[in-house]
Chain A
């Protein structure tokens, strides 16, 4: 694909969006796993929410 004399500007733009959005998605997934693991650990110790219905 020939993107002309300004190809570098186009590729860097798309790369920046890809890296940032992928980074955000990975951060959200990792954060979700950490919170779920922390909640599981607390519940295993017998500390439960009053309204715990098993929804995570």
Chain B
């Protein structure tokens, strides 16, 4: 019996399945985002210490969560490419990189805008902030390395190796607030560190952002599969023309 990943190894089957899933995931993300924004602005209180500024948390935490989850997905896809040579693994890794970079950028930006009124500064070179900045540079490195190489096979393998080496940044980010003294608060624990009145909007927004990412990732993967088909057809057309030209010259 085929596993799900084996069934999805056929890009045509993936295109069929993703075409059916995409509208549902997008709609679920849109509805949850609307509910989350309502809860974040109208149904949750200001924090007793941070005041209204706490509302930045409802977008900062989901972006920060996605910045790490997306890198984890890229690392998993890279492993799938290097070890199992799964045909869609590289498509997944390539499609996820710009999205991960965008969410990491937003985590840094919203964190900075939250930090100024709370800490009195936009930026400090502490362990959490610096390690997330390194993660952002890693994303940019993955994108740059891939675009620097013309041979797609080599680019896929080298990018996968860099992604797997870079995965060591994830535990450093996660535990940086425990290992070192930082201005950043400890990791958010949904069960104890967040008041129930703020937990629900945060949870809804985190799920909404995650669905939003998966919808965008599916769309980006579909685009990448189409791009590879276009490239293959162009190569086929050029090869056909060359063959005809050679035959014509021989006659």
Contact = CB atoms under 8 A, between A and B. Distances in A.
Q: Say whether A associates with B.
A: yes
Interface of B: 12, 15-16, 19, 41, 46, 51-53, 55-56, 59-60, 63, 98-99, 102, 105-106, 109-110, 113-114, 116-117, 212, 216, 219-220, 222-223, 226-227, 229-230, 232-234, 236-237, 240
A33 to B, nearest CB: 9
Given A9-B53, A10-B52, A51 B219 contact: no
B105 A24 contact: no
Contacts of B114: 9, 13
Contact of B216 (A2, A24, A55): A24
Q: Is the interface of A mostly helix, strand, loop or mixed?
A: helix
24 contacts: A4-B51, A5-B117, A7-B52, A9-B56, A10-B56, A17-B63, A17-B110, A20-B106, A24-B99, A28-B219, A28-B223, A29-B219, A31-B220, A32-B226, A35-B223, A36-B226, A39-B230, A42-B237, A48-B233, A49-B229, A49-B232, A49-B233, A53-B12, A55-B16
Interface of A: 1-7, 9-10, 12-14, 16-17, 20-21, 24-25, 28-29, 31-32, 35-36, 38-39, 42-43, 45, 47-49, 51, 53, 55-56
A51 B11 CA distance: 11
A10 B55 contact: yes
A39 to B, nearest CB: 5
Please name the 5 residue pairs, one residue from A and one from B, whose CB atoms are nearest each other, closest first.
A35-B226, A4-B52, A6-B117, A3-B52, A13-B110
B223 A12 contact: no
B110 A16 contact: yes
B12 A42 contact: no
A2 to B, nearest CB: 8
A42 B237 CA distance: 9
B53 A28 contact: no
Given A16-B109, A20-B102, A55-B12, A32 B53 contact: no
Given A10-B55, A13-B110, A28-B220, 15 more contacts: A1-B41, A5-B117, A6-B52, A6-B117, A7-B52, A13-B109, A14-B59, A17-B63, A21-B212, A28-B219, A35-B223, A42-B233, A47-B233, A55-B15, A56-B15
A28 to B, nearest CB: 5
